[in-house]
Structure formats: structure tokens, C-alpha cells
């Protein structure tokens, strides 16, 4: 617990502003299957599915999720800083944000996705606000994430929340089912 400063009230969590039919739940292993289904649905036809083939199938999405939660590849998973949004009417997971710890005071957002039918309702913004507030109150000094530059909607969301580009990197893809001609073939 951090000490209060000069008699000021402790920081209260911001209002989530979720639709009445959506509830915020802390991550649980009970969410595995539904979360993998959401990841797969969110990345159908998305540029990131060409970069990460695990997004291309439900089995791959389950493997991706398993790797995030169980193994320290993108840091150590932080279940207390990871949430799902559930539709109160049918129980489906309509959004999620997963975090890991990459250093003692640095968190990494490993996944933020919203079901296509629920986009445009402020759910991504609400999850991101909630995450930033939670991590700030937990004394994290920095939060990182990676986003594909072509995903302009996500880039704008992150920039509007104060994120900035620290590093750009190439993602190399070997796609034998849909090869991109190399320069030598183009000249012939």
C-alpha cells in the first residue's frame, strides 16, 4: 500500500462505462476455451494472422493462449492484471486484456481483443483504462505492448492513451501457400 499524500483521498478506480449487458471479470483458467475462440474470431482475415499463424485456427489460438499463460516467453503472466468482458445475456466472452510482467516494475499487454460484433462500443478503451489504472495503483512504472502498424484503429487507441513508438521491427513471414515473389522472379 502506498502512503497517502497530504491528506488527499486515495485514488479511486475510474468508472468503466460498460454497457449494462457486459460485465468485467478477472481472468480465470475457466475462460481458456472461450478466450481462444475469441482470439480466433478476432484475427480471421487480420494482418496479424499472416504474422502469427497461431491465430489462423482455434487449435493454434489455444496453443497461443497456453503459451502466454503458462510459459514466460512474453514475461510472467499476471492473472491479477488480466480481465475478460462477458455478455450477461448469453455468457459469451466479448473482450479480453491479458498482461504479463517483463520486469519488476514493467508490465506488458500480451493481448487485447474485442469480438467484431462488439467493436465500436468503447470496450477496448474501457479495458485499457482499467488495466492502466490497475497497473499504476500496483506501482508499475511502465506498460509495453506491440501492435502491427497496419492496425491503425489499435494504434490510435494506444496513442490516445499515451503510448508511443519506442521501436519498430520487421516481422518475417514464410507463407508457402501464398508466396510473395522475390525481386529476381519479378525481373524475369
Assess whether pLDDT exceeds 80 at residue 109.
yes
Percent of the chain whose pLDDT exceeds 70: 71
**Residue 170: predicted pLDDT:** 64
**Cα(153)–Cα(158) distance, integer angstroms:** 9
24, 83 Cβ separation under 8 angstroms: yes
**Cα(97)–Cα(57) distance, integer angstroms:** 20
**Residue 52: predicted pLDDT:** 58
Assess whether pLDDT exceeds 50 at residue 8.
no
- Low-confidence winner among 82-86, 136-140, 165-169 (lowest mean pLDDT): 165-169
Question: How many other C-beta atoms are found inside a 10 Å radius of the C-beta of residue 95?
Answer: 25
68 phi/psi in degrees, rounded to 5? -65, -45
Q: Taking all residues of the chain, what is their mean pLDDT, rounded to a whole number?
A: 78
- Low-confidence winner among 44-58, 62-76, 91-105, 151-165 (lowest mean pLDDT): 44-58
Q: Look up residue 4 and give its three cell numbers.
A: 497517502
- Low-confidence winner among 30-34, 50-54, 107-111 (lowest mean pLDDT): 50-54
**Cα(123)–Cα(13) distance, integer angstroms:** 16
Q: Single out the residue of 79, 95, 131, 81 nearest to residue 21, CA to CA.
A: 95
* DSSP H or E stretch at residue 100: strand 93-103
Mean pLDDT of 1-15: 40
**Cα(144)–Cα(74) distance, integer angstroms:** 11
How wide is the angle at C-alpha 155 spanned by C-alphas 59 and 175, nearest 5°?
A: 40
HSE-up (13 A, CA, CB side) for residue 116: 9
36 or 186, greater pLDDT: 36
**Residue 114: predicted pLDDT:** 93
DSSP string, 15-42: P----TTEEEEE--GGGHHHHHHHHHHH
**Residue 58: predicted pLDDT:** 62
Model-level pTM? 0.74
Q: Assign 118 to helix, strand or coil.
A: helix
Strands 22-26 and 83-87: antiparallel
Q: Look up residue 127 and give its three cell numbers.
A: 479495458
pLDDT tens per residue across span 136-148: 999 999 998 877 7
Assess whether pLDDT exceeds 80 at residue 9.
no
**Residue 177: predicted pLDDT:** 67
Amino acid at each position: 500500500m502506498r502512503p497517502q499524500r497530504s491528506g488527499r483521498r486515495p485514488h479511486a478506480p475510474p468508472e468503466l462505462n460498460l454497457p449494462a449487458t457486459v460485465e468485467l471479470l478477472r481472468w480465470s483458467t475457466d475462460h481458456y476455451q472461450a478466450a481462444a475462440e475469441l482470439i480466433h474470431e478476432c484475427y480471421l482475415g487480420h494482418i496479424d494472422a499472416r504474422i502469427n499463424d497461431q491465430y489462423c485456427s482455434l487449435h493454434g489460438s489455444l496453443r497461443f493462449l497456453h503459451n502466454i499463460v503458462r510459459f514466460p516467453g512474453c514475461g510472467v503472466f499476471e492473472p491479477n492484471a488480466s480481465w475478460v468482458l462477458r455478455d450477461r445475456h448469453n455468457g459469451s466472452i466479448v473482450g479480453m486484456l491479458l498482461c504479463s510482467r517483463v520486469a519488476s516494475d514493467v508490465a506488458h499487454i500480451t493481448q487485447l481483443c474485442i469480438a467484431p460484433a462488439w467493436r465500436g462500443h468503447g470496450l477496448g478503451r474501457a479495458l485499457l483504462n482499467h488495466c492502466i489504472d490497475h497497473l499504476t495503483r500496483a506501482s508499475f512504472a511502465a506498460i509495453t505492448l506491440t501492435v502491427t502498424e497496419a492496425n491503425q484503429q489499435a494504434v490510435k487507441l494506444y496513442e490516445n492513451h499515451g503510448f508511443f513508438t519506442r521501436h519498430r521491427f520487421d516481422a518475417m513471414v514464410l507463407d508457402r501457400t501464398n508466396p510473395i515473389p522475390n525481386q529476381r522472379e519479378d525481373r524475369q
